[in-house]
Amino acid sequence: MKKIDDFRHKGMRLKMIENLKSRDITDPNVLNAMLEVPRHFFLDSSFLQFAYEDNAFPIGNNQTISHPYTVAFQSELLDLKPGHKVLEIGTGSGYQAAILFKIGCNVYSIERFKGLYQKAKRQLSSLYYSVKLFHGDGYLGLPNEVPFDRIIVTAGASYVPKPLLNQLSIGGILVIPLGDESHIMTVYIKKSNSDFKKIEYNDFKFVPFLRDKS
Ligand code: SAH
């Protein structure tokens, strides 16, 4: 079925953007990208009327697309500029990757579920968003593509995988939700190969960052 994006959807996105601004999201790169990307394309059509509410929705394999606020908050913490080489762990629906792409980044993303990887690939290419997608284990990062200016983890991790810190460029930023039950949004800024500045933000709830493929 052909997906439609018209003035009604744009209107819903404008409301979503107002809501994000009222919650202190200010980065124009992030707000503009979220205004442009049709979030409802990344959800089942049965969720259309809810696509722009601040909610997470099932995308298959027991996984969810992140809340718009979470996408905006993580994206803002990344302090993104067009041209940044960015690695996302947990492609899921592909929506967060689409936002990174719209900002003008060179985007790489890894997903452990083959079905989600394939669906995201179809969705992103139907919009002509050229994102490099990989099916594999995000704990390992992408050693053949290093270094990355930015890395974003979109699943809740109980610890920071060493490969991800190693694969950041100097001055690079990693954003990762850390914890077991709930997840503290955590930022690591790479000062040198052995020195990281760590900053902690609020609690969020994510689906788990899983080590082994099931
Ligand atoms: N960024 C996604 C959010 C998806 S939820 C979006 O915009 O829709 C988190 C995703 O991380 C899920 O799709 C899950 O399958 C994936 N994931 C969990 N553990 C992983 C791992 N070890 N490697 C790669 N992906 C993983």
pLDDT tens digit sequence for 117-167: 999 999 999 999 999 999 999 999 999 999 999 999 999 999 999 999 999
Distance 19 CA to ligand 1 centre (A): 25
**Residue 3's pLDDT is what?**
85
Percent of the chain at pLDDT above 70?
A: 98
Active site residues: 66
CA atoms in the 13 A half-sphere facing the CB of 213: 10
For residue 214, pLDDT beyond 50: no
Structure tokens at 166: 């190693």
Percent of the chain at pLDDT above 90?
A: 90
More confident of the two residues 49 and 173 = 173
Spatial strand order of the sheet with 183-192 comes to: 132-135, 106-111, 85-89, 148-153, 168-178, 183-192, 195-204
Write out pLDDT tens, residues 53-72.
998 889 999 999 999 999 99
For residue 213, pLDDT beyond 80: no
SS3 content of the chain, % helix, strand, coil (to 5): 35, 30, 35
Helices then strands (H, E): number in the chain? 6, 9
As for ligand 1, residues whose beta carbon falls within 6 Å of it are: 63-66, 89-90, 92-93, 95-96, 110-113, 116, 137-139, 154-155, 207, 209-210
Q: What is the pTM of this model?
A: 0.97
More confident of the two residues 44 and 89 = 89
Cβ-count burial of 67 within 10 angstroms (0-12 exposed, 13-18 middle, 19+ buried)? middle
Distance 205 CA to ligand 1 centre (A): 13
Q: Are strands 132-135 and 85-89 parallel, antiparallel or unpaired?
A: unpaired
Handedness of CA 111, 185, 39, 32 (dihedral sign): negative
Render the burial of 32-65: b for 16+ CB within 10 Å, e for the rest. ebbeebbbbbbbeeebbeebbeeeebebeeebbb
**Residue 1's pLDDT is what?**
64
**Residue 115's pLDDT is what?**
97
* Amino acid (one-letter) located at 86: V
Structure tokens at 89: 């762990």
**Residue nearest to ligand 1 atom 13, measured at CA:** 92
Write out pLDDT tens, residues 170-192.
999 999 999 998 999 999 999 99
Distance 137 CA to ligand 1 centre (A): 10
From the CA of 93, give the closest atom in ligand 1: 8
For residue 47, pLDDT beyond 90: no
Q: What does the pLDDT average to over 26-42?
A: 98
Domains of the chain as residue ranges with CATH: 7-204 (3.40.50.150)
**Residue 200's pLDDT is what?**
98
